[in-house]
Structure 1
Amino acid sequence: MRMRMMQLHQLPEDVLYHITALLDCRSLCRLSLVCRSLSRFVSRDSVWKKVAVQLLNSGVDGSGTDIYPHIPLKDRVRIALNWYGGICKKTIALKWKLKLLPWLQLDGDTLFLSQASDIKAYRLHKVSRRLQPRPFDVYSGQQGDVCCFTLMDSHLISGGSDGKILVHSRTSDASMELCGHTQEVNCLDSKDQLIISGSRDQTVGIWTLMSISRRDTIALCDRVWSVAISPTKRSFVTGTACCQNYSPLRLWDVERLACVCSLGSEFRRGAGVLDIVFESPFQLLTCGYDTFIRLWDLRLCPRKCVMEWEEPHDSTLYCIQTDRNHMIASGSSHYGVLRLWDKRQTSCLQSFQLSSDHVSSPVYSLRLDSSHLYAALASSLHSLDFKTCSQNNLLQMYQLNML
């Protein structure tokens, strides 16, 4: 009996899935060029997920969760290769005359930027992600400069240099003032109804959104530079200036307000922690004056640093962000230097200098999405576009030999 030969595109889908699961990025791109039928099949997100989880900022985190399900995964893989290769278009999105300490938050298609005593909300184009030049909303009311702010679904909470904490409604003009600190509010974080604030007055405030009065206060005997609430909302971490004889990094229980543990014991004096980012309920990243990015694992006993990356020019690290998988972005204190790190490597992957040799400014705050990185310097807002350079970049990917 003569057997009928079956072409590749005629195979059952479950067989094709088994085949594509064995292919790397280069082979998948080649397979998509064979015919229209295979091109449509290879364009499915399920085909690219295994490849995407190995790349930088592809939108698939370490647990396999898709952070940007509305963007085709194949397109995000192309952009992820640009992140890895440092291929981007740099632009100055905004400039202002005075030197400030701006802060950023990104919420979908809206970028929030603090400038002096105001927080301005700017639209981002849904496709190009280009910043609209004029803000569509302004949150004001602080008597001093805004030092930091955090976003909730319905509210924006800001902390000022005068110690005041304001809660602004994002759906109306209403706002209310919380009984704040006696000195400037250096840091804020919020999840659901919980708000944590830290101040130069050496205290941490614990608030609930629906209550004007402070729920609790923790005295730390040191200036508080950073706070972060765990995704579980059962604990939070504080970072202090490290001017006293104890670790600047401590984990606290929300309900008991008791210190669960101190993280690390080898911080040199003055090595304050300026930014804290939770990767997961069990892992967090920190950075600060000692020029290191550190990854802490809270599941270990004792809880300890499991990896660290050193800023190559011995600069203070003001801020960090993560794609919740392999990539870390950091902003340093000299010449507006941004760096991209692959956590699987010990050295810096890519570096971008945003300010000139004559005008040096730290990167005070940064935020990222699937295709752009936004960085706030003393007198300008910079945008790094990794998407524009990815158009028709199949040949480019071959030339870079990154597939």
Structure 2
Amino acid sequence: MDIISLPESHKNDSNIRNSNKKFCLHELPTDVLLHIFKFSDLSTLFSLSCCCKRFYNIISDDSVWRTRSKVAVMTNQSSEDVIIRSSKFLNAKQKCRISVNWKLGSYVEKCFSTRIKFMPTLILEKNRLWMSKGENIHVFRRQGSFIHWKNPLFVLSNGHCKDICHFVKIGSLLLSGGRDGKICAWSEDTGHILFNKNCHGVSDVRSIDASNDIVVSGSRDSLLKVWRLKRTSLSEEPIAIYNVVNALWSLAIDPTTKNVCCGTTGLFIQESIKLLNLENGTVTSFPVKKGIAIFDIKWESPSTFLTCGYDSMLRLWDTRTNECVCSWMDPFDAAGYCLASDKCHSVLCGTAHNGRVQLWDIRMRLSVQSFFCKSPASSPVYSVTFDPCCMFAALDTSLNVLDFSGDLRTRNDYRSTWGG
């Protein structure tokens, strides 16, 4: 039998077929898939995790999400201030998922109503929510997004005889300023009032802040007063008094307790933002158009702070250059009443109309999202605070809680309104 020898090209056909074999994505090694997934956007990752069990298990690994979670909008938990008021600490994948809900406006809203109109202030903690209502401060037990509205833990009272304008918490001490010109302090542990001091006569204490043993108060009489805080009392007389010409509306002490920034009505002079150095008494002015009141101030770092006010602008200022380094215009041209920040890049701004809170990412020029809180009337948002899962907004007749933590399909997306 003769042996037929095949051509050389035919001998290599099987090798060619093997070399041309195409691998499917799901057949790639896990370490290769992990590397590929790091370059995928969030929507692609969520879609891939639904393809098969292997993809789901791989994408559930924190290493895929860790880098993204550190810069996620509203949920990064990179600041200690956010961590201490968070009801739970999220893993990397949860941070990215819930951040998408914030961006798309996917939430469940709960509304706790009152019959009397107030201008409340909020302070959020892990298990508690503090809220001023008239001349009292109510303390509610909190479980995630649920507030025990009808059964407050206790009520801080017997201090003011008129409405509280603003209050702050320093350690276990609550300090408040009211329309009666008084500064009052309560003990968090006992709920008892520690002192009740008439500090500004007939003028209301519109703003107050405290850090370490320093208390700063501002009022409509244009006087900024600096007080020494003792264990259970305030110094008999202020250790410093400054006349800022215009009525004071807001103030905040920086994280180093070296400077206090105050916002005024700006009626008589253009410099409605002033920076007072508490160590040497020097005052630096930041120019804003005349008549632009500054309603809220929040420090981002020892050298930068945010402001919002009557001109519908959110601004970032730098004390090293004494200039506004970036600004953002409200898409609906409404005044900003209050601010809340994660001290990273996410900012909430409560506005003057329709119970609206605007979400900003300071790395972007356009706003991220709008949240319209349910309200029987077109109420301003007087105070806003948040943790990664929930937003708490205080309107004149309600407390509105927006929960972003669920696997939600409903959307309240307004980005197309301003081209987002």
TM-score surpassing 0.5?
yes
Deviation at 1:348, TM superposition (A): 2.8
Supply the distance in 2 between the matched residues of 1:121 and 1:174 (Cα, whole angstroms). Answer: 15
Q: Is the aligned partner of 1:151 residue 2:169?
A: yes
- 1:247 maps to which of 268, 271, 291: 271
Q: Which amino acid aligns with 2:234?
A: I
Q: Which residue of 2 aligns with 1:206?
A: 226
Residue-by-residue CA offset, 1:294-333 (whole Å, 9 max, x unaligned): 111223x3x2112111123332211111222232211111
Output the TM-score relative to the length of structure 1: 0.83
Alpha-carbon separation, structure 2, partners of 1:122 and 1:96: 15
Cα RMSD, aligned residues only: 3.0
Is 1:262 the equivalent of 2:285?
yes
Distance 2:198 2:258 in 1: 23
Q: Per-residue deviation at 1:249?
A: 0.5
Partner of 2:371 in structure 1? 352
1:336 Cα deviation (Å)?
A: 1.4
Residue 186 of structure 1: aligned partner:
206
Q: Which amino acid aligns with 2:147?
A: L
1:111 CA displacement: 0.8
Check 1:21–1:242 CA distance in 2 against 1; reply closer, same or farther (3 A cut).
same
Quick one: distance in 1 between partners of 2:168 and 2:349?
19
Give, in whole Å, the separation in 2 of the partners of 1:35 and 1:293. Answer: 45
- How far apart are residue 354 of structure 1 and its match? 2.4
Alignment of 1:12-23 (within 5 A): none
Q: 1: CA distance between counterparts of 2:354 and 2:43?
A: 37
Q: CA deviation at 1:110?
A: 0.9
Classify the secondary structure of the residue corresponding to 1:82. Answer: helix
CA apart distance, 1:219? 1.7
Alignment equivalent of 1:287, drawn from 300, 308, 325: 308
Alpha-carbon distance in structure 1 between the residues aligned to 2:291 and 2:78: 34
How many percent identity over aligned positions? 31
CA distance in 2 between counterparts of 1:41 and 1:207 reads 54
Instruction: Name the aligned partner's letter for residue 343 of structure 1.
Output: I
Q: Deviations 1:32-54 (Å, cap 9, x if unpaired)?
A: 9866798389443x653310233
100-109 vs 162-171, greater mean Cα deviation:
100-109
Whether the 8 Å CA contact 1:179–1:212 is kept in 2: the answer is no
| Among 111, 120, 125, the residue aligned to 2:138 | 120
Deviation at 1:208, TM superposition (A): 2.9
1:57: which partner in 2?
A: 74
Does residue 139 of the first structure (1) align with residue 156 of the second (2)?
Answer: yes
Query: What is the aligned counterpart of 2:389 among 371, 374, 378?
Result: 371
Q: Which string of whole-angstrom CA distances, capped at 9 and with x for unpartnered residues, describes residues 353-381 of structure 1?
A: 2255x722111111111111111111111
Greater shift in the superposed pair: 129-138 or 323-332: 323-332
1:198: how far off? Answer: 1.1
- Quick check: 1:59–1:66 contact (8 Å CA) kept in 2? no
Change (3 A) 1:124 1:346: same
Q: 2-side partners of 1:233 and 1:48: how far apart?
A: 37
| Aligned partner of 1:220 among 216, 241, 244 | 244
For structure 1, which segment, 175-184 or 283-292, has the greater mean C-alpha deviation from structure 2 after superposition? 175-184
Letter in 1 for 2:265: A
**Counterpart residue identity of residue 398, structure 2:** S
SS of match in other structure, 1:351: strand
Write the distance in 1 (CA, Å) between the matches of 2:77 and 2:137: 31
- 2-structure distance, mates of 1:154, 1:204: 25
In the superposition, relative to structure 1, how do residues 43 and 130 fare at CA in structure 2: closer, same or farther (>3 Å)? farther
Tell me which structure has the larger Cα radius of gyration.
Answer: 2
- Is the 1:60–1:325 contact (alpha carbons within 8 Å) kept by the matching residues of 2? no
One-letter amino acid of the structure 1 residue matched with residue 75 of structure 2: S
Instruction: Specify the code of the residue in structure 1 equivalent to 2:358.
Output: R
CA distance in 1, matches of 2:40, 2:302: 33
Instruction: Tell me the number of residue pairs that the alignment of Structure 1 and Structure 2 aligns.
Output: 374
- Could you tell me whether the CA contact under 8 Å between 2:121 and 2:131 is conserved in 1? yes
Q: 1:232 to 1:48 in 2, by over 3 A?
A: farther
Which residue number in structure 1 is paired with residue 21 of structure 2?
none
3-state DSSP of counterpart to 2:74: coil
Task: Tell me, yes or no, if the aligned pair for 2:270 and 2:289 is still in contact at 8 Å.
Answer: no
- Asked if structure 2 preserves the Cα contact closer than 8 Å seen for 1:33 and 1:39, the reply is no
d(CA) in 1 for partners of 2:109, 2:299: 28
Q: What residue in structure 2 maps to residue 85 of structure 1?
A: 104
- Cα deviation, residue 115, structure 1: 0.7
Q: Helix, strand or coil: the match of 1:77?
A: helix
Distance between the aligned counterparts of 2:154 and 2:168, measured in 1? 16
Aligned to 1:324: 343
Judged with a 3 Å threshold, the aligned counterparts in structure 2 of structure 1 residues 74 and 269 are, in CA distance, closer, same or farther, namely same
**Distance change (3 Å), C-alpha of 1:43 and 1:135:** farther
The equivalent of 2:65 in structure 1 is 48
Q: Which consecutive unaligned segments of at least 5 residues does structure 2 have?
A: 1-26, 412-420
- Counterpart of 1:232, as a letter, is T
2:402 corresponds, among 378, 384, 387, to: 384
